[in-house]
Amino acid sequence: MQAKNNFLAIGVSLLTTLSLINVAAAHPRHHDAKPVVAFAYPALSDEEGSKFEKLQTALSAKPDDPGAAVAFARYAASLARRDGNTDLLKLAAGSLAPWSAVDEPPIDILIVRANVKQIDHRFDEALADLDQIIVRDPYNPQALLSRAFVLTTTGRAREAAADCARIRPNVSVTIRETCAARALSLSGAAQRSLTRLEASVRALKAKSKTEKTFAISVAAEIAERIGETEKATGFYAELLEADPRSVFVRAAYADFLVSQNKFAEARAIIGDRPHTETLMLLRVLASAGPSDQPANAAAAELKARMENDLAKDDYSHAREYARFALNRMNDPHFAFDMARANWRVQKEPLDARILLAAAEAAGDHETTHEIEAWIEATGIEDKGLQAALAAEAEPV
């Protein structure tokens, strides 16, 4: 039973943030540049702070103890993911440093390390750790679940579906169904996946809140993609009510609202002091106009972070920078470069939509054929992407 609980704790916290995967969600990064405005991290509650300090004290007493390192890194990473807190993510990574040169670290170390790398968008490195686990323990549910979500993020949904199918029944029907739904929904079976997932959610009324949140987050993503707007709205609202602090939930819901031109509602969710690149971008896109000072401040900070990142050849936020260049900077060629850089790492429907928009603005028509070939090869269903392709095909 303990192994199952550990699986749910790490697997679900990973995926509810990753999933958004319509918005590569708000992953935190460290920035050395002096911010234009002080965008502060949300403070931990007294209970969270106390638990964090206890785990940190235990780790300080035994820095080479895998159990202490895993407990601390897992908790720090979960808080970092929820709040978009760069400093906590760095602490999580640092606690795992004693095993960086070990050929075969403990499996729990590899799992947490892979999750930290995934949050940081180092997908290839995360996959290397997960591959190593699965070679040693072919049916490890945490590794299979985590690898499935990294694979879907990088455009390998059919491989992800195979990993989901290998998760053994004694783990959780809902976990397996949710894993499979996301993978299959990105490879030609979106409506069927959503129907099955909704049935799982209804069956969870009196069961695990964590499992239900995981399932609803994926259901919201699928519903949005296939144009089930009312369902998606309900799912996102339920997620926000369950965890109003989650950066992932706020970003996913706000991006959904921005896509429908519901800017005031999006602003209410984002707030006036966004602190991650994704939330800053969305605050800019949801601007109330030239006199919207919070949007202007977010734009200035996002531009400063972009310049700092690119000076270090850091393209981890290329998705956000491509959208920023298109919508705020009016620089289609730079937007296309950023969209291309992002496409090399992430291949989800949103990434394809961004690349298509940037290519069209930059006058690159060959990219349309590339995206059409990708859709045909994967079976991707995305009404927004299909509409954009149809609009481009119309004679001028």
DSSP string, 94-146: HHTGGGTT-SS--HHHHHHHHHHHHHTT-HHHHHHHHHHHHHHSTT-HHHHHH
- Mean pLDDT over each residue of the chain, to the nearest integer: 88
- With 80 as the cut, is the pLDDT of residue 229 above it? yes
CA angle (248 as vertex; 21, 385 as ends), nearest 5: 30
pTM: 0.88
For residue 39, name the pLDDT band (cuts at 50, 70, 90): low
Residue-wise pLDDT tens digits, 251-288: 999 999 999 999 999 999 999 999 999 999 999 999 99
Indicate left, alpha or beta for 26 from its phi (over 0: left) and psi (-120 to 50: alpha): left
What's the pLDDT score for residue 212? Answer: 87
The residue extents of the domains of the chain are 315-396
- With 70 as the cut, is the pLDDT of residue 342 above it? yes
Residue % of the chain over a pLDDT of 70: 88
What's the pLDDT score for residue 18? Answer: 33
What's the pLDDT score for residue 12? Answer: 38
C-alpha span between 250 and 243 (Å, rounded): 9
pLDDT (average), residues 368-393: 91
What's the pLDDT score for residue 200? Answer: 85
What's the pLDDT score for residue 395? Answer: 59
3-class DSSP assignment, residue 358: helix
Q: Which of 21-35, 118-132, 172-186 has the lowest mean pLDDT?
A: 21-35
Q: Which of 85-89, 169-173, 202-206 has the lowest mean pLDDT?
A: 202-206
What's the pLDDT score for residue 36? Answer: 44
- With 50 as the cut, is the pLDDT of residue 9 above it? no
C-alpha span between 45 and 60 (Å, rounded): 22
pLDDT (average), residues 322-342: 97
- With 50 as the cut, is the pLDDT of residue 46 above it? yes
What's the pLDDT score for residue 113? Answer: 97
